[in-house]
Amino acid sequence: MEKFIDYSYTRVSDDIALILEKKVSDDWRCNIWHIQGSEKDLIIDTGLGLWPLADGIIRISKKPIIALCTHSHHDHAGGLNQFNVRSGHIDELDIFAKPSRESTVATLIKAEHLIEKPNDDFNINNWCMKPAPITDPVKEGDIIDLGNRIFQIIHFPGHSPGSIGIWEKKTGVMFTGDTLYDGVLYDHLYHSVPTVFKESLFRLKEFPIRTIHAGHGPSFGKEKMFQIIEEYMSGKRSMVCPYKT
Ligand SMILES: [Zn+2]
């Protein structure tokens, strides 16, 4: 049996683990989250999908798995095709089903973002993620019930039209995808709308957050969340920076 060798697997709390692609550079790879529930498991985001992901998770957990992408960009949704139950927001169904390099912004990834190629013939400059038609579409307010844990879908458009947060009220945990992480926030992509993105960040501030598990980089608490949002609003963390020419 093939081993789960292409990813690191780190438990961040009892039932939440962080999975990372070992062969993708730190600045590009997304956070893949594995939440083990009493009846079902939830995978949030799936990485580039260049190596077997679903097989490794199935060996860790015997429960049914829901794979949910925070949005359809190549670095988050590339591995979604490996799962049988595929979930994503209704506003990006076409991209998940018929991805192109342009629609998934795969034109941004370069050879230097891969530490190792999946095979000798692989060329990142013409790669496109495999189609992953959504089997379980989600929208604002929908509930994902893992048995002992209940998550709610929060629509945070702006980075992309169907970007979502996944909110657990009981623990104050929010998974934010590319809507919020500790870095420069991407508000300049072809389907990004900075004014809408700002509204989503204002909305995020209203939640009684304890922990943000971001789409990239480290997890953080409410204070850091406020700091990042404030810095973004002042232009420091924006790609559409008012102070740059
Ligand atoms: Zn993105």
Domain-located, residue 210:
yes
In this structure, what CATH number is given to the domain that contains residue 192? 3.60.15.10
Can you tell me the distance from the alpha carbon of 234 to that of 196, in angstroms, rounded to the nearest whole number? 16
What's the whole-number average pLDDT of the chain? 95
What's the structural domain count of the chain? 1
Q: Is the pLDDT of residue 1 over 50?
A: no
**Would 242 be classed as within a structural domain?**
no
Which protein residues have a CB closer than 5 Å to ligand 1 (ion)? 73, 178
Does some domain include residue 147? Answer: yes
For residue 178, how far is its CA from the centre of ligand 1 (angstroms)?
Answer: 5
CA of 71 to the centre of ligand 1 (A): 7
- pLDDT > 90 fraction of the chain, expressed in percent and rounded: 93
The total of other beta-carbon atoms located within 10 Å of residue 78's CB is: 29
Q: Are 53 and 64 in contact (CB under 8 A)?
A: no
Model confidence at 2: pLDDT above 90? no
Model pTM score: 0.96
Q: pLDDT digits over 43-80, tens only?
A: 999 999 999 999 999 999 989 999 999 999 999 999 99
Q: How far is the CA of 38 from the centre of ligand 1 (A)?
A: 30
Residue with tokens 């420069």: 184
Answer yes or no: is 219 within a domain: yes
Task: Tell me the chain's radius of gyration from C-alpha atoms.
Answer: 17
In this predicted structure, the answer to whether residue 181 has a pLDDT above a threshold of 50 is yes
Residue 240 confidence class, pLDDT cut points 50, 70, 90:
confident
Between the CA of 72 and the centroid of ligand 1 the distance, in Å, is: 7
CA distance 96 to 92: 6
Kindly give the distance from the C-alpha atom of residue 175 to the centroid of ligand 1, in angstroms, as a whole number: 14
- The alpha carbon of 27 and the centre of ligand 1 are apart by a number of angstroms equal to 13
Q: What is the pLDDT of residue 3?
A: 63
| Spatial separation of the C-alpha atoms in residues 82 and 129, rounded to whole Å | 11
| Residue 10, φ and ψ in degrees, nearest 5 | -125, 125
Average pLDDT over residues 179-195: 96
Going across the sheet that includes 7-11, the strands are 7-11, 16-21, 32-36, 41-44, 65-68, 86-89, 136-138
Q: Give the domain range for residue 132.
A: 7-233
Distance 20 CA to ligand 1 centre (A): 16
CA of 159 to the centre of ligand 1 (A): 7
Phi and psi (nearest 5°) for 12?
-100, -20
Does 241 map to a domain?
no
